[in-house]
Amino acid sequence: MTSTLTWAQLRDLKCAELEGAADGWGRASNRADAGRDTIDKRLMNGLLGTQQGEAADAAVARLRQLSRNFQYVYTECGLLRTALNSLAHEMRAQQRALQGALADADALKFTVHPDGSVTYPEAGEGLIDGKPLPGGTASGRGLPGLLPPSGLVAPNPHAAKAQEIADRVEKAVRTAKEIDWRYTRILRELKAEEGLKVPDATWTDAAAVRGAARGYLKDAIPHDASPAERKSWWAGLTQEQQEEYLAVYPDQIGNLDGIPALVRDAANRDNLQLLIGKLGARDDERAETQLAGLREIERQLHDDRKPPMFLLGIGDEGNGRAIVSYGNPDAARNVSAYVPGLGTSLDDEFAKNDLKRARDTAIGTQRHDSSSAAIVWLGYDAPQTPIDDPLGSLAVAGGERAEKGGAAYNSFMRGLAVTNENENPHLTAIGHSYGSRTVGAATQQVGGILGVDDIVLVGSPGVGVDRAEDLGVGKDHVFVGAAEHDVVTRVPSRKQATVGVMGLITAGPVGSYIVGDIADQGDDDLWFGKDPASKAFGARRFHVDEGPQLVSSDGLSIDAHSQYFDPERNAVSADSIALVAAGQSRELKMEEPR
């Protein structure tokens, strides 16, 4: 650290000029963002919609690279803006501390010298001759407040005050030097690659600015607030403040329930690039798996898909996080959010199959009401299969992950309720497989799930409660789909299960089904409580196709468990889910409970 900053320079520093420079970088960032938006929404879509062939493919590839370059410029310029604003913010605080010390010195007629020492005049009376006691000079002690008192008291009454002022001047200058050195290093690292290349590692530049901006931005993010309070916080920020948060903390703003969908989508598209860069720099299997999922989501975001995609959440914690909406959930009157279950993680399969389920639901729902959106919510660590994770798969036998995920899902749905622009939106919670247990846990949070009108449970091994009315929306608003050949909807209860060696390996309800009782023996208890399709549970069971048998001439199949959302393989079920999500459950074809 070689800064030669003096207190006079700190006093005269024009922080407004730093903020003016920050505004300039902000304007450059906004122009780059507008350029990217033009490419993605006008040029790219126009080209994809009108041209085909190798030349068109090559042009699309060049446009995507140009879009990525604009995103790079947007991000880097935004980081520069925040770094300069944060520098001004921290320097201004030290200016105030210095100015307070100088004002106290002036009021007492002390002299502050260029080196920070403070001279004080004679004062008081000598004990012997009664003459004023001589003045003196106090110098900053380097670490004021950390040295133990000597026990000696200077006779001049000004001495102690002069020492305090000298310490305050020294501390303000020393802290300002540290700030100056820290931001000098950060700003030097924020530079473009030769030829404006955008390597994945470039996106890690945000980390340094995030650390520096902690006091300026991060500490104000309302992580512990309710979704409604977060919405108010965001609305109360200036446009410049919002832009800075999006540039520096896209991962936090994009995953904060209560922030509007358009904002979350913009933040998460940037965060997606940060994550791709982060995981691309690693070579472990988990990173490669998640990277494949992220790249597939990125590919789909660049397609001209209808309904349009909104990225409401993305992250690499645990088995990965991804929340995707088809249709704007803030503008739609009908919004459904589907929670996947066993074996789901952020990977290529999730990005292709689970996203398709949400898209199929959105398309089906919009057939009944055009003002509809459908979401897939992977906001928790779903239990994994024994093949993928032998130890982690033990979680499917218990409800811990469902309880933790249920709290997160509850918060997400509350966020949807407060950001929706309609006076009385229709919200539907959908749980598949272990995801139904997670939805059940969400309903048991204090106050239930705010704003949810209907609940759909498909392929459920139980939801943690024994009566539909315990889910908080009224039993007539709980709808269940259970295919005849879906083994998960027929797993025995824990008491019934006979778990042998194979049962221990498969660890949970599916293992119990295969190794233990091959049916529920006429009982209506499942692994996680009463069978949602049973008469005792009290929900409304809608008709679904029976699905392929577990064992047939084609071999072993559990496809009956995965076809509920597919309009081609189980059209009755897919349309039933769409009808509920559209608020038109009166048109359902019902089936007798078990």
* Other Cβ atoms closer than 10 A to 552: 10
121-170 residue pLDDT tens: 988 776 666 678 888 999 987 654 444 444 444 578 899 999 999 999 99
Q: Is 521 helix (H, G, I), strand (E, B) or coil?
A: coil
Residue by residue, DSSP assigns 451-518 as TEEEEEEES-S--S-S-GGGGSS-GGGEEEE--TT-GGGGPPPTTT----HHHHHHTSHHHHHHHS-S
> Taken in order 435, 382, 332, 473, is the CA torsion positive or negative?
positive
| Residue 505 confidence (pLDDT) above 70 | no
| pLDDT for position 193 | 63
Instruction: Quickly state the pLDDT bin for 52 (edges 50, 70, 90).
Output: confident
Burial of 569 (0-12, 13-18, 19+ CB in 10 A): middle
Closest C-alpha among 76, 82, 85, 77 to residue 18: 85
| pLDDT for position 144 | 47
The predicted model gives 317-337 an average pLDDT of 97
Query: How high does pLDDT run on average in the chain?
Result: 85
Q: How far is CA 144 from its chain centroid?
A: 42
Alpha-carbon distance of 139 to 295, in angstroms, equals: 60
In sequence order, which residues have a C-beta less than 8 Å from that of residue 52 and are 6 or more positions away? Answer: none
Cα→Cα distances 220→70, 339, 368, Å: 29, 31, 43
The predicted model gives 468-479 an average pLDDT of 96
Phi/psi for 525 (5° steps) reads -100, 130
| Residue 3 confidence (pLDDT) above 70 | no
The predicted model gives 86-101 an average pLDDT of 93
520-533 residue pLDDT tens: 445 566 667 889 99
| pLDDT for position 344 | 94
Question: Above pLDDT 70, what percent of the chain?
Answer: 84
| pLDDT for position 185 | 82
Helices (H), 43-53: 44-50
Strands (E), 282-434: 309-315, 321-326, 334-339, 372-378, 426-432
Closest C-alpha among 155, 163, 152, 154 to residue 125: 155
CA angle 16, 20, 23 (to 5 degrees): 135
| pLDDT for position 498 | 47
| Residue 2 confidence (pLDDT) above 80 | no
Q: Is 319 helix (H, G, I), strand (E, B) or coil?
A: coil
Contact by Cβ (8 Å): 353, 347: no
535-544 residue pLDDT tens: 999 999 999 9
Closest C-alpha among 242, 411, 447, 224 to residue 313: 411
| pLDDT for position 149 | 45
Contact by Cβ (8 Å): 203, 273: yes
- Biggest CA-to-CA distance, the chain: 118
Closest C-alpha among 569, 366, 573 to residue 458: 573
Return the minimum-mean-pLDDT range out of 142-156, 281-295, 335-349: 142-156
| Residue 260 confidence (pLDDT) above 70 | yes
The predicted model gives 362-391 an average pLDDT of 86
Helices (H), 39-133: 44-50, 54-107
426-444 residue pLDDT tens: 999 999 999 999 999 999 9
| pLDDT for position 97 | 95
| pLDDT for position 504 | 38
H helices then E strands: how many in the chain?
18, 15
Alpha-carbon distance of 211 to 201, in angstroms, equals: 17
| Residue 496 confidence (pLDDT) above 60 | no
| pLDDT for position 518 | 43
| pLDDT for position 174 | 92
Residue type, 179: I
| pLDDT for position 197 | 56
What the block records as the tokens of 159 is 């001495």
